[in-house]
Amino acid sequence: MNAVAPRPTILSIKAYAPGESRVPGVNRTIKLSSNEGAFGPPPGAMEAFREAAAELHRYPDGSSTALREAIGSRFGLDPARIICGAGSDELLLHLIMSYGGEGTELIMSAHGFTMYDITGRYAGCQVIKVPEREMRCDVDAMLAAVGPRTKIVCLANPNNPTGYLLPQPEVARLRAGLRDDILLVLDAAYAEYVTDPTYEAGAAMVDAGGSTVMTRTFSKIFGLGGMRVGWGYFPAAIADIINRIRGPFNVNIAAQAAAIAALAEPGWIERNIAHNTEWRAKLGAALTASGIKVWPSEGNFILADFATPEACRAADAKLRARGLIVRGMGGYGLPACLRITIGTAEECQMVSDALCAESSALAV
């Protein structure tokens, strides 16, 4: 008897490894492995979630109309060209399935976000990983990798896990060097954390016309990773395609309500940016002072580089002994690195105490 077999390319996919959330034998574990916000969910979002309980028998609004309008007014965008998804991962899936496929190539930088690789292979694309320079996406090398079969280029900006922000002129140069029939996906999952005043998350490039899309998420600064809500901003023709194939009720009723409330939470973004900027710098400086290389980051995490896999494993063990879970980077080909989410002040202090030989109080 023959067992049913998947398409052969699917067997080349390694399942996404989510950040761990438990250390066996340690009472209190602190999860700094998935870049979830430092402050939990916005209180208004929790309230909206509770209120949604009374409506759970109803199908959600399949077009996420109120949420798209709230996003549009918050970010100054046309709601008709916004699509919400069950996480931005869902939108990446639909984009890559719709525009990629067998016989096409998807280009990403070597340490780009893993989901491009997984989803590209699922779609049947040949995934090309372009070497970086010093953990930075190399636009010349990306453009040099483009061939006649290239259909999609994915760029996380800021990038996860390196934290690198590709400057706006370089993003524009990447787009300008791509044929118009190549889809450029600008994944701006960490956009809200960026403090560089020249940063443009991607909306202007989408509006400039052609084949550029921007994806965003409620999972990071808005603290709603467990609700699975993301959104994208598209040219009208691409929005039309994605609306044809997405699930008709892809964002659940509680997720829509929580996301709308998160957008309305007074001072939430400002407080999170201020905290993240301050503590990312403090923790980075403490690790650097202890001889640990920290790559510059514009996200809510830092990439700590311990130079050797052995030193990295030893550092991870010290963190785990204190219940601190961070993200190993072996899957990204960075076995000497740990990605550490910026948590609360106390959590940053604990990381410093665990890793720095002469850790002092970061708060002073």
Ligand X SMILES: *Cc1c(COP(=O)(O)O)cnc(C)c1O
When asked if residue 87 is in the footprint of ligand X (CB under 6 A), the reply is yes
When asked if residue 192 is in the footprint of ligand X (CB under 6 A), the reply is no
Residue number with the smallest Cβ distance to ligand X: 87
Q: Which is nearer to ligand X, 64 or 160 (CB)?
A: 160
**CA proximity to 227, closest of 239, 217, 212:** 217
Q: What share of the chain is helix, strand, coil (3-state, %, to 5)?
A: 40, 15, 45
Q: Which is nearer to ligand X, 227 or 362 (CB)?
A: 227
Tell the residue number behind the tokens 């998807």, with chain if given: 106
| Helix, strand, or coil (residue 316) | helix
Q: Which is nearer to ligand X, 298 or 350 (CB)?
A: 298
**Closest distance to ligand X from the beta carbon of 116 (Å):** 9
The interface region with ligand X, picked from 41-49, 137-145, 217-225, 340-348 by CB under 6 A, is 217-225
| Sheet containing 337-341: order of strands | 293-295, 301-305, 337-341, 327-328
Q: Which is nearer to ligand X, 67 or 362 (CB)?
A: 67
When asked if residue 160 is in the footprint of ligand X (CB under 6 A), the reply is yes
111 Cβ contact partners less than 8 Å away, ≥ 6 residues apart: 132, 135, 159, 161, 162, 332, 333, 334
User: Which of 89, 105, 170, 316 is the binder for ligand X (CB under 6 A)?
Assistant: 89
**Closest distance to ligand X from the beta carbon of 231 (Å):** 9
User: Which of 150, 162, 212, 219 is the binder for ligand X (CB under 6 A)?
Assistant: 219
**Closest distance to ligand X from the beta carbon of 24 (Å):** 26
Cα 46 from Cα 86, distance rounded (Å):
18
Q: Which is nearer to ligand X, 64 or 217 (CB)?
A: 217
User: Which of 23, 32, 83, 156 is the binder for ligand X (CB under 6 A)?
Assistant: 156
CA 78 → CA 69, 232, 234, 304, 338, distances in Å? 8, 11, 10, 39, 39
**Closest distance to ligand X from the beta carbon of 107 (Å):** 16
When asked if residue 276 is in the footprint of ligand X (CB under 6 A), the reply is no
When asked if residue 120 is in the footprint of ligand X (CB under 6 A), the reply is no
When asked if residue 301 is in the footprint of ligand X (CB under 6 A), the reply is no
User: Which of 96, 123, 189, 336 is the binder for ligand X (CB under 6 A)?
Assistant: 189
Identity (one letter) of the amino acid at 282?
K
Cα 169 from Cα 164, distance rounded (Å):
15
Tell the residue number behind the tokens 């044929």, with chain if given: 179
Peptide bond into 42 cis (omega under 30): no
Q: Are 346 and 29 in contact (CB under 8 A)?
A: no
When asked if residue 88 is in the footprint of ligand X (CB under 6 A), the reply is yes
Q: Which is nearer to ligand X, 174 or 356 (CB)?
A: 174
The interface region with ligand X, picked from 62-70, 81-89, 119-127, 139-147 by CB under 6 A, is 81-89
Helix (H) / strand (E) element for 121: namely helix 114-123
**Closest distance to ligand X from the beta carbon of 217 (Å):** 3
Cα 297 from Cα 71, distance rounded (Å):
26
HSE, side-chain direction, 13 A CA sphere, residue 288: 11
Residues forming contacts to ligand X in the complex (CB under 6 A) are 87-89, 113, 156, 160, 187, 189, 217, 219, 225, 230
